Amino acid sequence: MVVSKPLPAGARELLEEAAGYLPPDRVEQVERALEFAVEKHEGQTRRSGEPYVIHPIAVARLCAELHMDAPTLAAALLHDTIEDCGVTSDQLRSKFGPDVTLLVEGATKIEQMPDRTMDVEQADAETLRKMFLAMAEDVRVVIVKMADRLHNMRTLEHLGTGRQQALARETMDIYAPLASRLGVWQFKWELEDLAFRYLEPEMYHRVASMVASRRSERERYIRALEGELAEILAAAGIKAEVTSRVKHLKSIAEKMQRYADQGRSFDQMRDLLALRVFVDTIADCYNVLGVVHQH
């Protein structure tokens, strides 16, 4: 391992996650980026008082959970070094090569705030324009920025109310839809719920309370249903992976509003749970559908 100092929080988990799917020489690239990030962010802290480097490590871990390549993980670790640490593109290029450098430069361009004379809609449009340009050049830049935003939203309690709501609105309007467009559903759901929490706190806590009151019952039910479906598909000779989840709070709130418009109550909602079946072929999609209908 290249890192010589004690590892910051989350660093070991990041390297273990990377080693689970990347070859050793690619993991070594991530290790070098980690060491560089620790060095350059030394002495910097977040609003929470934690060492700043914990943030890029968390961003890289989110990218690793998506099994992104080594340059993306390295760029996630280094994404704030140009803006916050005075590191130049030439320095990054000489140490990590052009691929990582271009990703960091792309992330930095998105991060640079729009002209403060713009109103909110103009600023959002400018951010969106930059995101689409980044997608056209290299979609990995947008993955890094979505992971960056997700970790920032997870730690939003350390900012003032005005800043919280501004970031939450931008998250709901720009980042969550982009995550949906790219099919990064785990980012989309959490981004929406975190933004919902700050944009509509009363409704958020109301829905969270209603869902929590019967969560254990629902989770027992969905786990049993997941196992039952997996057994049925195996008996039918279909190779499949079955997963389950309780739907996220933002989607439940939207459905509650539709139900209220129809004079129906929360207790009448029957689709708070979801099963997802992954198969290898399109033909098996139809086979699964047939089996589900039979049962």
Q: What CATH homologous superfamily does 213-294 map to?
A: Beta Polymerase, domain 2 (3.30.460.10)
Please tell me the predicted confidence (pLDDT) of residue 116.
Answer: 42
**Residue 23 CA from chain centroid, whole number:** 24
Nearest alpha carbon to residue 143 among 48, 79, 91: 79
Q: Which residues contact 134 (CB under 8 A, 6 or more apart)?
A: 106, 107, 109, 110, 141, 142, 145
Res. 4: pLDDT tops 60: no
Q: What is the CATH number of domain 11-199?
A: 1.10.3210.10
Please say whether the beta carbons of 246 and 273 come within 8 A: yes
pLDDT greater at residue 4 or residue 134: 134
- HEC per residue, the chain: CCCCCCCCCCHHHHHHHHHCCCCHHHHHHHHHHHHHHHHHCCCCECCCCCECCHHHHHHHHHHHHCCCCHHHHHHHHHCCHHHHHCCCHHHHHHHHHHHHHHHHHHHHHHHCCCCCCCCHHHHHHHHHHHHHHHHHHCHHHHHHHHHHHHHHHHCHHHCCHHHHHHHHHHHHHHHHHHHHHHCCHHHHHHHHHHHHHHHCHHHHHHHHHHHHHCHHHHHHHHHHHHHHHHHHHHHCCCCEEEEEEECCHHHHHHHHHHHHHCCCCHHHCCCCEEEEEEECCHHHHHHHHHHHHHC
| Intrachain domains 11-199 and 213-294 with the same fold | no
The structural domains of the chain, with segments of one domain joined by +, span 11-199, 213-294
Section 212-240 average pLDDT: 84
| 84 classed as catalytic | yes
Please tell me the predicted confidence (pLDDT) of residue 197.
Answer: 92
Answer left, alpha or beta for residue 49, where phi above 0 means left and psi between -120 and 50 means alpha.
left
| 83 classed as catalytic | yes
This prediction has a pTM of: 0.78
Res. 2: pLDDT tops 50: no
pLDDT in tens, 284-293: 999 999 999 9
Least confident interval from 37-46, 144-153, 226-235, 245-254? 245-254
Please say whether the beta carbons of 78 and 104 come within 8 A: yes
Q: What is the mean pLDDT of the chain?
A: 86
Section 105-119 average pLDDT: 65
Indicate which residue of 13, 84, 111, 137 is catalytic: 84
Res. 151: pLDDT tops 80: yes
Please tell me the predicted confidence (pLDDT) of residue 265.
Answer: 63
pLDDT in tens, 65-89: 999 999 999 999 999 999 899 999 9
pLDDT bucket at 101, cuts 50 / 70 / 90: very high
Please say whether the beta carbons of 238 and 287 come within 8 A: yes
Indicate which residue of 16, 39, 42, 83 is catalytic: 83
CB atoms within 10 A of CB 117: 7
Section 154-168 average pLDDT: 92
Please say whether the beta carbons of 23 and 36 come within 8 A: no
Please tell me the predicted confidence (pLDDT) of residue 117.
Answer: 42
Please tell me the predicted confidence (pLDDT) of residue 277.
Answer: 92
Please tell me the predicted confidence (pLDDT) of residue 123.
Answer: 59
Please say whether the beta carbons of 193 and 234 come within 8 A: no
How many Cα atoms sit within 13 Å of 256 on the Cβ side? 17
